[in-house]
């Protein structure tokens, strides 16, 4: 969409509609035929970003139904890959919060709705993975995922990515320790029961 790379790279306030139009080989009037204001354009962009994340979650759920360990692994690898991508500046949604102080701004509504949905999904995975106090564990993980994308900018992507992977492994107990709901019910991996873990 028009301006997406510019908003991400330069910031919402750092790029104007005229520059966006020029880069898109069009003019301001053409953009304003689709969006009444720049704020509308920003909101549409952030909604598109949130939708991409939603599609990723849906893909993991479809690929690994009832398998929280694999879904966690996919989530972590997604974050790690993003950290190590050239030109990465962190999460576009989180970055935009600093430029949107009005809590009632429509773009803020998009961000808040997405971040809360993400936290709920992580909490569900924590419960399915057998972690004690899933709400507490989910908040820790959510804060780590959010913080990692900021810390990588100054501490280095590889360093932060490695520590993030280690932290999630530790919370799950050991590598691959989290069982799917299917395995817990059938005892397919033996007679041992999944032990609730907490942090």
Q: Is the pLDDT of residue 196 over 50?
A: no
Beta bridge partners of 147: none
Given this model, what pLDDT does residue 57 score? 95
In a domain, 117, yes or no: yes
Q: How far apart are the first and last CA of the chain?
A: 42
Given this model, what pLDDT does residue 65 score? 94
What whole-number percentage of the chain has pLDDT above 90? Answer: 60
Q: Domain span at residue 137?
A: 45-180
The pLDDT tens digits for 12-67 are 888 888 888 877 777 788 888 888 889 999 999 999 999 999 999 999 999 999 99
Q: What is the distance between the alpha carbons of residues 126 and 155, in angstroms, rounded to a whole number?
A: 28
Q: Classify residue 10 by burial, with Cβ atoms within 10 Å: 0-12, 13-18, 19+.
A: middle
Q: What are phi and psi of 66, to 5 degrees?
A: 70, 15
In a domain, 49, yes or no: yes
Given this model, what pLDDT does residue 92 score? 93
In a domain, 53, yes or no: yes
Given this model, what pLDDT does residue 18 score? 82
In a domain, 185, yes or no: no
The CATH number for 52's domain is 1.10.357.10
Residues 76, 165: contact at Cβ < 8 Å? Answer: yes
Given this model, what pLDDT does residue 102 score? 92
In a domain, 87, yes or no: yes
Given this model, what pLDDT does residue 46 score? 95
Helix (H) or strand (E) holding 66: none
Summarize the confidence of residues 75-82 as an average pLDDT: 94
């Amino acid at each position: 969409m028009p301006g997406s790379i510019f908003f991400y790279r330069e910031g919402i306030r750092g790029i104007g509609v005229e520059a966006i139009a020029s880069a898109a080989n069009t003019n301001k009037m053409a953009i304003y035929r689709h969006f009444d204001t720049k704020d509308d354009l920003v909101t549409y962009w952030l909604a598109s970003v949130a939708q991409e994340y939603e599609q990723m979650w849906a893909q993991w759920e479809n690929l690994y139904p009832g398998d929280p360990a694999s879904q966690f692994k996919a989530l972590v690898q997604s974050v790690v890959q993003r950290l190590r991508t050239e030109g990465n500046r962190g999460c576009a949604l989180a970055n935009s919060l600093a430029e949107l102080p009005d809590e009632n701004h429509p773009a803020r509504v998009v961000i808040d709705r997405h971040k809360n949905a993400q936290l709920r999904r992580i909490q569900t995975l924590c419960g399915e993975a057998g972690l004690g106090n899933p709400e507490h564990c989910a908040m820790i993980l959510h804060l780590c995922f959010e913080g990692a994308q900021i810390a990588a900018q100054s501490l280095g992507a590889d360093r932060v990515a490695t520590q993030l992977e280690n932290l999630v492994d530790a919370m799950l107990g050991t590598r691959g320790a989290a069982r799917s709901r299917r395995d817990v019910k059938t005892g397919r991996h033996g007679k041992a029961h999944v032990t609730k873990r907490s942090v």
